[in-house]
Amino acid sequence: MVIVNCLLKCWRKCLLEHNSPSDFYVSCWQSSHLSWPLLLLRSILFLYSMTVLAVSVALDPYICYRFIYFTHWGFLAIVLETGFSTAISAYAHFKRPIDATFGLPWYVKTYWVLYNVTIPVAFLITVFYWGILKTSGKIQKYAPNPVLDVMLHGGNSVAMLMELVLSAHPSRLLHILQPLLFALAYLLFTVAYYFAGGLDPWGNAFIYPVIDWSKPQQTVIVVALTALFLTLMHLVVVAIASTRDAICRRFRNTPGIYNDGFGDES
């Protein structure tokens, strides 16, 4: 029975259910249930991400190759995440509070998945780009515009860090499956693209020089290390969420349910 109970607890942690729906549209830093402050901040993030996306598309000299890159997969996810978060806050503010009597609505669950995916992926992209691609000596090829370069590979993490710090809903350890599946989908795309004879804009038979399927052993090592680092980024997200809620709890001096990433809700 002990094993069964443990398995059931783990399974519940994998699910997208939370018994306080207001946590998805009220910041943990607020002492009331006002939804407009977070709506305003999320609207700014959504406007920022939409602007960066639009400008980057307009100025992209390799538009046909745009979505072979993980950066653009991740940034499109950010646009969707900020869009859903803004819509949820707007719905709660202008229409009515979200009812979770029969479980969280599909749009809240969709937002939660996007939230779980985009934050660690954004951190991964920033570190991977500046720490690995930059040192490869080919960074100039990926950065035709230096300002957009920073916005896409640095501003992405800043925006998602703000989303993380200002939110109130939990980040759970077992939700690591979601960003890993997102990364796996991209990995399978790179394999299919390689075997289909796909090239990068400069005629190379790889998308990134460190992920070259003509060198499978080297690539598998890079992929494995990247998966480990993505897992680490998710652990960092859970730790930040737990610290955020602990500070909010102390600052507001109120009891309640806080991030349940390391334990059960009670």
Choose the weakest-confidence range: 29-38, 195-204, 207-216.
29-38
Who has greater pLDDT, 256 or 218?
218
pLDDT digits (tens, 9 = 90+) for 162-184: 999 999 999 999 999 999 999 99
How far lies 242's CA from each of 31, 172, 182, 235, 246, in Å? 18, 10, 24, 11, 6
Mean pLDDT of 177-199: 96
pLDDT of residue 265: 46
pLDDT at 255 over 60: no
Rounded CA-CA distance 171/173 in Å is 7
pLDDT digits (tens, 9 = 90+) for 45-58: 999 999 999 999 99
Percentage, residues of the chain above pLDDT 70: 84
Burial class (CB in 10 A: 0-12, 13-18, 19+), 228: exposed
Backbone angles phi, psi at 213, to 5 degrees: -75, -5
Rounded CA-CA distance 117/179 in Å is 4
pLDDT at 8 over 80: no
pLDDT digits (tens, 9 = 90+) for 218-248: 999 999 999 999 999 999 999 999 999 999 8
Question: What is the pLDDT of the chain when averaged over all its residues?
Answer: 86
Choose the weakest-confidence range: 39-43, 49-53, 93-97, 130-134.
130-134
Percentage, residues of the chain above pLDDT 90: 61
Who has greater pLDDT, 143 or 74?
74
Beta pairing partners, 247: none
Choose the weakest-confidence range: 76-90, 225-239, 242-256.
242-256
- Per-range mean pLDDT, top range of 3-12, 23-32, 78-87, 143-152: 78-87
Name the residue type at position 1.
M
pLDDT class for 97, splitting at 50, 70, 90? confident
Instruction: Report pTM.
Output: 0.88
pLDDT of residue 158: 97
